[in-house]
């Protein structure tokens, strides 16, 4: 029940959004192009939403008996919020909300209420009475197509799948995006990081610089080590020599 409620609400919302999005989008794609995109979007959303419902709750079960024993309805603590959201998705577009403007209270619809929140520019809302009907009708057509293919004539779906096998192969592979992405990551990112960043930059340049600094420090220390004899008389002699050198420099300069 919860899935049916959610999907019905989603289809209703998408049909409403399709009708609502057509009006601003007409400035970019033109009214006809935006209308076609919105109507097709509502149809496809209704189709795959009710495809999920039909495959899950109707037809021959694909679960074994052990799994069926664990299937149960969601509790009302989950159903009640979903029912309220579904009702809200239906009536929110028609409800009038009080809104103060220039000292007076006006009754406005939902788009005018959320407009200041999203800082949207003010624009005249054009309402075409037939547009919500077309969007809703497209959603109903999507539901009927899903019912026809997955409940009424499942054999037709098999025939279509056989005829469209090349396209289904591309769709099943997700347009081969994952294959291209994995190949790029494995060869370019991981392989490049291993060959260039790790072996050359990290191990060669950074570690080489650190190791070179340690080698030079050890060589210099090895060279200067005889100077550190540990005898006080040697240090006193060096202090005296330094003092004589400084006095000589001051006298001669």
pLDDT in tens, 134-158: 888 888 999 999 999 888 887 887 7
State the pLDDT at residue 74.
82
Mean pLDDT across the chain, nearest whole number? 78
pLDDT at 245: 92
Among the ranges given (124-133, 230-239, 244-253), the one the predictor scored with the smallest mean pLDDT: 124-133
Helix/strand/coil for 99 = strand
> How many other C-beta atoms lie within 10 A of the C-beta of residue 188?
10
Phi/psi at 106 (5° precision) = -115, 155
Higher pLDDT, 76 or 5: 76
Mean pLDDT of 74-97: 83
pLDDT classification of 13: cutoffs 50, 70, 90? very low
Q: Which residues contact 37 (CB under 8 A, 6 or more apart)?
A: 25, 29
* 33-49 pLDDT tens trace: 777 787 888 888 889 88
């Amino acid at each position: 029940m919860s899935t049916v409620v959610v999907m019905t609400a989603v289809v209703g919302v998408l049909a409403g959004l399709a009708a609502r999005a057509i009006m601003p989008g007409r400035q970019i794609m033109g009214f006809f192009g935006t209308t076609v995109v919105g109507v097709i979007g509502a149809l496809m959303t209704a189709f795959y939403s009710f495809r999920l419902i039909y495959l899950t709750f109707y037809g021959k079960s694909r679960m074994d008996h052990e799994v069926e024993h664990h299937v149960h309805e969601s509790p009302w603590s989950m159903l009640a919020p979903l029912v309220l959201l579904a009702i809200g998705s239906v009536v929110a577009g028609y409800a009038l909300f009080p809104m103060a403007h220039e000292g007076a209270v006006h009754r406005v619809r939902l788009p005018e209420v959320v407009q200041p929140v999203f800082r949207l520019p003010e624009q005249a809302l054009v309402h075409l009475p037939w547009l919500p009907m077309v969007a809703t009708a497209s959603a109903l057509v999507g539901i009927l197509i899903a019912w026809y293919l997955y409940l009424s004539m499942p054999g037709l779906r098999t025939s279509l799948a056989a005829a469209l096998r090349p396209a289904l192969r591309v769709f099943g592979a997700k347009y081969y995006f994952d294959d291209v992405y994995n190949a790029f990551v494995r060869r370019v990112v991981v392989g490049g990081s291993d060959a260039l960043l790790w072996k050359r930059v990290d191990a060669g340049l950074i570690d080489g610089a650190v190791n070179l600094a340690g080698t030079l420090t050890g060589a210099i220390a090895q060279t200067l080590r005889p100077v550190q004899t540990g005898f006080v008389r040697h240090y006193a002699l060096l202090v005296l020599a330094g003092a004589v050198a400084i006095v000589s420099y001051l006298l001669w300069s």
